[in-house]
Amino acid sequence: MTVKGHIIVFSFPGWGHVRSLVVLACRIVQQRPDIGVTILIVGDATKQAEEEVARFIPIGDPANENIRIIGTLKGSDVMALRIDTAAASLKAYELLSAQQHVTCVISGKIFQPWPKPKVVLTDIFLNVAHEVRSIDPAVTVLGWSPPNNSASLRISGPEHLGGLGDIGAQAIIEAEKTGRSIEEIETELCRPDTGRLVHTPGLPLMYDYEFLPQEACFR
């Protein structure tokens, strides 16, 4: 079927992030056969994403042709790939926005132009909204949060609901008071370990350090 509308998806390289966006893309084209979805992805997850699409929409089903998986960067180390994911995908998006052909760097497949995308759905871990709008100010940018609702509320929600609140604003105020760097304060606010009990809707009472028990790697 002819694609009349086009949605671009920016995906973080972790499989837990990719899979949820693939499933959403499948649901979209199943309900709207005139919509095409292009998923911009990096590394080994490119092949996994193609296989996941085929699990939900078998090859041969016309809807399968309405989902395109385009690899923008090679590699297998997710933590290394994450650094350049946004820049690589933005280059591909710029071509897609200009309705030019795009080549998948993983498979070498050349994808022909689809209609100019009017909606961009991006994993919030990539933080590309400003750059996307600089390429096309008219595009609608939507954020996608892969964690469950309670985790998302803790990360992005207001303080009175157990969230971390506006970390940027808090860091600026603290920096003005103490003279410390904003970056240092933001890192601390993102990973509080004061031992304070926090109640987040949908979760039992938890100490603040329990939300991120892993060793910090995004410094």
Top-ranked range on mean pLDDT: pick from 87-91, 202-206, 208-212? 87-91
- pLDDT confidence of residue 102: 96
Is CATH 3.40.50.880 the right assignment for the domain spanning 5-144? no
What pLDDT digit, counting tens, does each position of 23-63 carry? Answer: 999 999 999 999 999 999 999 999 999 999 999 999 999 99
Rounded distance, CA 201 to CA 160, Å? 11
- pLDDT confidence of residue 216: 58
- pLDDT confidence of residue 171: 93
Q: Which two tokens stand for residue 215?
A: 């060793």
Looking at per-residue confidence, does 213 or 180 come out higher? 180
- pLDDT confidence of residue 50: 95
Question: Helix (H, G, I), strand (E, B), or coil: what is residue 111?
Answer: strand
Share of the chain above pLDDT 70, in %: 97
Domain with CATH 3.40.50.2000 in the chain: 5-144
38 Rama class: left (phi>0) / alpha (psi -120 to 50) / beta: beta
pLDDT at residue 11 is higher than 90: yes
Residue 37 · residue 29 · CB < 8 Å: yes
Rounded distance, CA 42 to CA 11, Å? 8
**Region 102-123 average pLDDT:** 96
Who's near 97: CB < 8 A, 6+ residues apart? 116, 117, 135, 136, 139
Distances (CA, A) of 115 to 103, 112, 130, 138, 203: 17, 10, 22, 14, 43
Sign, CA torsion 158/181/215/194: negative
Query: Quick one: how far is CA 147 from the chain centroid?
Result: 11
Rounded distance, CA 124 to CA 86, Å? 11
pLDDT at residue 204 is higher than 80: yes
Q: Which two tokens stand for residue 36?
A: 């095409």
pLDDT at residue 218 is higher than 60: no
- pLDDT confidence of residue 42: 95
Share of the chain above pLDDT 90, in %: 66
Average pLDDT score, the chain: 91
pLDDT at residue 219 is higher than 50: no
Q: Which two tokens stand for residue 161?
A: 């609901």
143 Rama class: left (phi>0) / alpha (psi -120 to 50) / beta: beta
Residue 145 · residue 135 · CB < 8 Å: no
**Region 182-193 average pLDDT:** 88
Q: pLDDT grade, residue 215 (50/70/90)?
A: low
Structure letter (DSSP) for residue 21 = H
